Structures are given as C-alpha cells and as structure tokens.
Amino acid sequence: MPINRLAMTIYKIKNLGDSMVKISPSVLTSDFLTLGDSIKKLEDAGVDMLHLDVMDGIFVPNISFGLPVIKSIKAHTKLPLDVHLMIDRPHRYIEEFAKYADLLGFHYEAGSDNEETLRKIRELGCKSCITIKPATAAEEIFPLLPLCDMVLVMSVEPGFGGQKFMPVALDKIKAIKVECERQGLSVDIEVDGGINAQTAPLAVAAGANVLVAGNYLFSADDMSARVKEIKNL
C-alpha cells in the first residue's frame, strides 16, 4: 500500500474514535551499541513510548535483556516505557520491573495468577497490560479486561523480531474492541509483530490504537520520516 494511502487510512480511522494512533517502537531490533542515539532519534521523531521486550529463554526460545538495561534506558529518556514480559511466571518479578516501567505487561499463557498480577501492577503505580499469543482466543481474556489499561495482541509468535504479520490477529483485535465497548471500558489495544506500511492500516481498521514497530523503523534511513508517515501528524 502506498504510504500516502496508509496516512489517509490512519487519518480517517483516528477521527472515528477518541484515541489517536500511538507508536511504541521495539528496541529489540536496534543496534545496542548505538541505542542511546536511536532513542534520541525516536524522541525527536515524536514516538509515544518505547517497547521493551524482556525474554527469558524459557517462556520463549530466546534471551534478550532485563532490569539493568531497562534501568539504564529509564535514566536517559523521558519516553514512557512499555515493558513486555515474555517470561515464565512473571508475577515473581512484577515489583522489580514496576520500578522502571510506565506500562507493564505479561502473557496470559505464562502461568501466573493473572487477576492478582494485573491488580498488583496497578497497585505499584503502573498501567497494566495482558498479552495473548496468536493461538490464544480473544474470548479467554474477556473477564480480565476490567483490570487492564491495555491489551497486547501478538501478530507473530513471541520470541524473535522480523517475522511476518499473521492476519489472525485482526479478528482478535476486533473482538476485543467490541467487548471493551460492551463492558464500557476504555482500554488501549496494542498490536505487535510485522507492522509496516501494509499492515498498520489493517490493524488500526480492526481497532488497534497502539502499534509496535521494530524492523520497519530501525531499518529506515530516516526513522523520523517513517514515524511521521505512519502517524500522519
């Protein structure tokens, strides 16, 4: 899809509801030797937050980074930190990550007491997020929606960047959007995986208002221009 059509699609959809489209760039695909410079460029480009993928090599078959890196990032940016825990039994680490996260999310499938974990995140002063894998039905998290500030729908299998967008995510986004409206809830819907000029308008049309972009931003010669194209500011 040409980028001008992408911008027009997002512009029209943004004006149908109360929430503007937000961009949460994933730093997982960045060059960590120049991460500080990349974050500065993203700040200048007007992104809304930073998406930080924490992987433990158990819940997902990959290891990324943890608290020391997040603590360092927190000290050098004013952008909110959107921390995505892809770890086993995340309830064990909520208190530590809450010290640095602005929005703290974990996987529905990760073996926690999901209700209690969501409550604890809020008690610790963070916004709460529940995340679902591509194989998890949207309906499974409906009872948890009143405890969520955001829901993250994975449009790829969690664990690695650079995967292709899975269209099954679109029906889930639609279903979650409808259920939030039915329950009278104001919940952000985030989508993560394979977001680019072709898939971003599809996700937004389905009801997502927070887009996680990794390779699409960090592979660009001009990240600022690409952010502006997506957001259509």
Catalytic residues: 53, 192
Rounded to whole angstroms, the Cα distance separating 217 from 25 reads 7
For 135, residues 6+ apart whose C-beta sits below 8 A from its C-beta are: none
Q: Write the secondary structure of the chain as one string of H (helix), E (strand) and C (coil).
A: CCHHHHHHHHHHHHCCCCCCCEECCEHHHCCHHHHHHHHHHHHHHCCCCEEEEEEECCCCCCECCCHHHHHHHHHCCCCCEEEEEECCCHHHHHHHHCCCCCEEEEECCCCCCHHHHHHHHHHCCCEEEEEECCCCCHHHHHHHHHHCCEEEEECCCCCCCCCCCCCHHHHHHHHHHHHHHHHCCCCEEEEECCCCCCCHHHHHHHCCCEEECCHHHHCCCCHHHHHHHHHCC
| Structural contact between residues 180 and 18, judged by C-beta atoms closer than 8 angstroms | no
CA 154 to chain centre: 9
